[in-house]
């Protein structure tokens, strides 16, 4: 860990605990700051807060006092999920207090360089691929951010010969000031999290934070097939590395139907890649480019691509059952992600979909519904999915109570050679606490099919 003294004897407020808040509070305490933690959960039911108190950190639990900032804080570190409309955050901004997330702390103390991956879709798969490739190439990577360990917990232990691979949300990036990954990736930009950001422009600006502080010594890998991403890339001061799936290009990384090319030179055949789907090809291009720039050998990259079958909950192959292949895509919480999953298969699909109803249109899925032979719908959007499926000409539709119920129906509606695919196109929170729990339930039910 770097010797970082700028926060020594400074009063710092950590707002919201969870894993990132605990890690941030502990790191700040180590750096010599006077730390106060404020969390909504009552102290008696808050073991994290109880532990922090024993370490000499001030803890205020069970409420958010309106006059909290009158204590004279010089910095606020907030949980990424807390919106900027929160009264305490809004008060901090009105007082010109800096408001950051723990990702910024991680950068400030890390001796290791960062690879930062952001975008609307594809972050988790890209991040995991990069980590696996760098590990296979003996580049000693660490993984942090939305997957893996909390970033500042990883960063304080990292050494200069390591690389920290980080999946970054727009929420995290909004809370950065100096954060500067050596290699930054922007996979794509679509409407998402507008309930948090308000507008697409605000959301995209937050994502651009992944490259905002980069210099000509750094690299920015970006989606050259999307005009909105190209426009943002023009503002980056880093060395630009475009990626495209629309044919061989002389600059950056590209792919056609047969192969992948690095600066126009053939480097590997697509037939040697295990992971299906055009959307995954984009993720693969990002990962390969990042690893080549990080000094990873091509042979290690090829070895990973030959065996990598997907990230848990993201077009994850679960099992083969009576000639059907079953896939878990619970992380598909919007229509675009489900559209990508549907387009990855050229066999008949029994689609399990539904969940929290945010009022989003399902029309984005229409052109990808051609191979869908049946839809089993559940959750708040269940009836909307059934009406939509019928309008697309899907012959069989069933309303299920939940995922457990849906697996039973899907097994009955499927035939040998079919794909059974959970790809909900909705958040899980109407019935399940997270998409991971929803996916785990699906996997458990699929494995119990006799």
Asked whether the beta carbons of 308 and 300 are under 8 A apart, the reply is: no
Looking at 355-435, which runs of residues are DSSP E strands?
A: 372-378, 396-399, 419-422
How far is residue 239 CA from its own chain's centroid? 24
List phi, psi (to 5°) of 211. -120, -5
Q: For the CA atoms of the chain, what is the radius of gyration?
A: 23
User: How many other C-beta atoms lie within 10 A of the C-beta of residue 231?
Assistant: 11
Distance CA 292, CA 265 (A): 13
Q: Which residues are annotated as a binding site?
A: 119-125
Q: Which residues are annotated as a binding site for ATP?
A: 119-125
Distance CA 439, CA 422 (A): 8
Asked whether the beta carbons of 182 and 114 are under 8 A apart, the reply is: yes
Q: What angle do CA 359, 364, 370 make, to 5 degrees?
A: 130
Distance CA 118, CA 120 (A): 7
Distance CA 265, CA 260 (A): 8
């Amino acid at each position: 860990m770097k010797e970082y003294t700028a926060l020594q004897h400074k009063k710092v407020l950590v707002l919201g605990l969870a894993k990132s808040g605990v890690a941030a509070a502990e790191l700040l305490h180590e750096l010599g700051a006077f730390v106060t933690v404020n969390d909504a959960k009552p102290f008696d039911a808050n073991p994290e807060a109880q532990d922090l108190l024993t370490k000499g950190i001030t803890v205020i639990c069970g409420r958010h006092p309106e006059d909290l900032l009158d204590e004279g804080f010089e910095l606020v570190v907030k949980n990424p999920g807390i919106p900027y409309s929160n009264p305490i955050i809004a008060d901090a901004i009105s007082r010109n207090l800096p408001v950051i997330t723990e990702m910024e702390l991680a950068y400030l103390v890390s001796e290791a360089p960062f690879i930062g991956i952001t975008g609307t879709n594809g972050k988790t798969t890209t991040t995991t691929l990069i980590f696996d490739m760098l590990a296979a190439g003996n580049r000693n990577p660490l993984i942090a951010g939305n997957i893996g360990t909390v970033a500042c917990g990883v960063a304080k232990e990292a050494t200069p010969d390591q690389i920290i691979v980080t999946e970054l949300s727009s929420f995290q990036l909004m809370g950065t000031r100096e954060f500067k990954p050596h290699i930054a990736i922007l996979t794509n930009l679509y409407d998402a999290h507008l309930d948090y950001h308000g507008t697409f422009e605000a959301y995209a600006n937050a994502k651009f934070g992944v490259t905002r502080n980069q210099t000509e010594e750094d690299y920015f890998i970006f989606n050259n097939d999307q005009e909105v991403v190209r426009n943002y890339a023009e503002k980056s001061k880093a060395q630009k590395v475009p990626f495209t799936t629309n044919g061989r290009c002389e600059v950056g990384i590209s792919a056609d139907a047969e192969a992948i090319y690095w600066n126009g030179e053939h480097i590997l055949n697509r037939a040697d890649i295990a992971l299906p789907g055009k959307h995954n090809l984009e993720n693969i291009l990002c990962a390969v480019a990042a690893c080549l720039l990080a000094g990873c050998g091509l042979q290690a990259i090829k070895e990973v691509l030959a065996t990598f079958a997907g990230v848990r909950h993201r077009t994850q192959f679960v099992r083969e059952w009576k000639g059907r292949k079953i896939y878990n895509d619970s992380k598909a919480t919007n229509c675009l992600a489900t559209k990508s999953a549907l387009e990855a298969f050229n066999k008949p699909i029994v689609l399990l979909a539904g969940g929290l109803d945010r009022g989003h249109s399902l029309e984005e899925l229409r052109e990808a519904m051609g191979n869908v032979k049946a839809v089993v719908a559940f959750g708040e959007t269940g009836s909307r999915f059934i009406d939509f499926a019928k309008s697309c000409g899907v012959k069989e539709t069933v309303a299920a109570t939940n995922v457990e119920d849906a697996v039973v129906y899907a097994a009955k509606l499927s035939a040998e050679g079919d794909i059974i695919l959970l790809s909900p196109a909705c958040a899980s929170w109407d019935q399940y606490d997270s998409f991971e729990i929803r996916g785990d339930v699906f996997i458990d039910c699929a494995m119990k099919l006799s």
